[in-house]
Structure 1
Amino acid sequence: MHQNNNTNFYIAGSFRYSKLINNLSDILESLSFVRTYNWTVNKKADSIKKLREIANDELQGVEQADFLVFIFPSGKGANIEFGIATALKKRIYILDVNNEIENFNLTSTFYFMDNVKSFKGSQDDFAKFIIDCETK
């Protein structure tokens, strides 16, 4: 239903999940999905100017994406990207790394909206889940 050779995606998450994020991206890119921005290559920002540049690059990446992948749990930046994607009515796929998305002390109401699909399981199974959803 959705997927074509120009389907763009953005992955929001924490630097601690960089390897998982890049592996997942590799799987999706091998199937002709296009990553809009790879923030995992950024070094720690050392100035307000650099923070501004990164923020604009990340915003543009989310705006250009057809869907957002969100690795949960993540920090404030990833949650802001989630919020941007929500406001832009993007499809959102959540990988619940620690099986905590339904923990009322850790979750958000926004993770349960109609445009959001949560997944618990392995990275490979999550990639298949996204691909199945995007190619129906």
Structure 2
Amino acid sequence: MEKFYVASSFRNLDAVRYVTSKLVDNGYFHTYDWTTSEKSKGSLTLDDLKTIGENEKKAVMESDFIVVLLPGGKGTHIELGIALGQGKRIFLYSPDREIENVETTSTFYHLPEVEKCFGTLDDLLKKISG
């Protein structure tokens, strides 16, 4: 059973939950669900942030692949960096193809181990299950 992690921001909560549920329904194992953490509830201490960070780092490192749903924030991009450093497969989803704008894109989005995905979330899921 392949293990996965979804990196994104709270702005994409519904999309993260949709992708996660579809992958789990198709037999994949989700390494960590950050959408249920205390961070989503808004009141945190520095110790809470440390624990969440440890859980997220461990989840990325235990995954066979990660899915990055853009737009993302600082944490999303740190998780992308961890995955790149660990040689993980990465599916990078950009709903509006903004990552193809040479003036605003990140160089890391265009590395060979990053599979860029456009279209709908279902298109992304098909590419993952490919």
Residue matched to 1:63: 61
How many residues are treated as equivalent by the alignment? 127
Residue matched to 1:123: 121
What displacement does 1:9 show? 0.3
RMSD: 1.0
| Secondary structure in 2 matching 1:69 | strand
Q: Name structure 2 gaps, 5 residues minimum.
A: none
Q: Name structure 1 gaps, 5 residues minimum.
A: 1-5
Matches within 5 A, 1:1-136: 6-44=1-39, 46-132=44-130
Name the structure with the higher helix share.
2
2: distance between equivalents of 1:31 and 1:46? 34
Runs of 4+ in structure 1 off by over 6 angstroms are none
| TM-score (ref. length: structure 1) | 0.90
2: distance between equivalents of 1:73 and 1:121? 14
| Secondary structure in 1 matching 2:77 | helix
Residues 52-108 of structure 1: per-residue CA shift (max 9 Å, x gap): 000000001001100010012210000000000000000000110222011123211
Query: Given that residues 24 and 127 in structure 1 are in contact (C-alpha distance below 8 angstroms), is that contact kept between their aligned partners in structure 2?
Result: yes
| Secondary structure in 1 matching 2:105 | coil
Query: Given that residues 38 and 48 in structure 2 are in contact (C-alpha distance below 8 angstroms), is that contact kept between their aligned partners in structure 1?
Result: no
